[in-house]
A and B are shown apart, each in its own frame.
Chain A
Amino acid sequence: MYIIIVGGGRLGYYLMKALIEEGHEVLVLEKDARVCKTITDELGSVCFRGDGCEASTLAEVGTGRADMFVAVTGDDEDNLVSCQVAKHKHNVPRTIARLRNPKNAALFKKLGVDVTVNSTDIIIEAIEHEVPTHPVTQLLSLDEKGLIIVDVKIPARSTLVGKMVKDLPLPAESKLALIIPSKGSAHVPVAHTILQPGDQIIAITPSQHGDALEKLLRST
């Protein structure tokens, strides 16, 4: 695949290395001549100096034949515009933008960016997961299906302890996928599985029901 990355910062740099490793044809667009030179010195001609928001630059690097276009600069507005230029001027089938402000996800979707990756949320979730009192962590968001996968720990005094899975008032389209008990091995819950204190549950739910599911599983 031919993949264009906008932004040769740390994220762009490591992403490029990983993609080259996988055997893809990768090109990084970077405005800063020094950054560009550092990358070229190390990895050969995989960096083009130019503004990834300019249609002419994108034409020069053959964006028209790119399979994927990834914008990972530190500014949401630059990532948005470069993805829009790639999409509308060069018909790139898949555009991906990094987000700093989580609130921009809906806007970017609406404006034609295929996938958004929110680095702030990912880091916050990862750190929150390490806080022992934090009972719910979002593990993954399947944006195209509008689903999220969450990791919930059932508190010992939860009203759900001792109840069967089939009796839980789960929000619509929500499923418990896996139970990891505090002792013993993980198992897939069935209708008659009884929840135990300290169970760790991996559940899947439509993103709009995320809060409701969290509230239910934490109710004490």
Chain B
Amino acid sequence: MNILIMGCGRVGARLAAMLDENGHKVTILDTDTYSFRRLPASFSGTALFGNGIDEESLIKASIETADVFVAVTQGDNRNVMACQIAKHIFNVPRVVCRIYDPLREEMYSALGLETLSPTKIIGELLKEQIEGK
């Protein structure tokens, strides 16, 4: 699959490396090229400087042929906007969005985005761990 990831932080870089290892064609975007140091030396995908809420940058990152778009920058709103561009302008078949704020996550999930809230997930996991499940 062609996978486009926006945000090369810890999560983005790790996800890119794992998908690359599994044989997917990965492109990763970040607005700071210094972030690309997080990618392993073995990474065979493309690391591109660019802003995921800018249509031109997305076209350069071959969004038109992407099967999956994932937004994992630090900004909820940036992720939400980029994912809506990917879904509604470029018709990417699958769009996954990280949203820290659980309320915002619920709303965009109701609006049809595929969303994940780390706040909700980690909170739940920690609770289970502590309560000794």
Contact = CB atoms under 8 A, between A and B. Distances in A.
B88 interface: yes
Given A54-B103, A101-B54, A88 B77 contact: no
Interface centre among A55, A77, A85 (most CB of B within 10 A): A77
Contact of A75 (B54, B77, B88): B77
A81 B103 contact: no
Given A56-B103, A80-B77, A88-B107, A107 B54 contact: no
A103 interface: yes
Interface string A50-73: 000111100000000000000000
Contacts of B104: 53-55, 81, 85
Interface in A75-103: 75-78, 80-81, 84-85, 88-89, 101, 103
Interface stretch (B23-31, B33-41, B79-87, B124-132): B79-87
A111 B89 CA distance: 11
Contacts, number: 52
B76 A81 contact: yes
Nearest to B51: A101
A11 to B, nearest CB: 18
Contacts of B101: 53-54
Contact of B77 (A78, A107, A110): A78
Contacts of A85: 104, 107
A54 to B, nearest CB: 7
A110 B88 contact: yes
A81 B101 CA distance: 12
Interface centre among A76, A81, A111 (most CB of B within 10 A): A81
Given A107-B88, A111-B88, A76 B81 contact: yes
A53 B77 contact: yes
Contact of A107 (B56, B85, B107, B110): B85
Interface string B49-88: 0000111100000000000000000011110110011001
B122 interface: no
Contacts of A53: 76-77, 101, 104
A56 B106 CA distance: 13
Contacts of B85: 107
Contact of A88 (B76, B78, B81, B111): B111
A85 B54 CA distance: 22
11 contacts: A56-B103, A77-B75, A80-B77, A80-B80, A81-B81, A81-B104, A89-B107, A101-B53, A107-B88, A110-B89, A111-B88
Given A53-B76, A56-B103, A101-B54, 16 more contacts: A53-B77, A53-B104, A76-B81, A77-B53, A77-B80, A80-B80, A80-B81, A81-B104, A84-B107, A84-B111, A88-B107, A101-B53, A103-B55, A103-B56, A107-B84, A107-B85
Q: Which 4 A-B pairs have the closest CB atoms?
A: A77-B77, A77-B81, A81-B77, A55-B103
Interface of A: 53-56, 75-78, 80-81, 84-85, 88-89, 101, 103, 106-107, 110-111
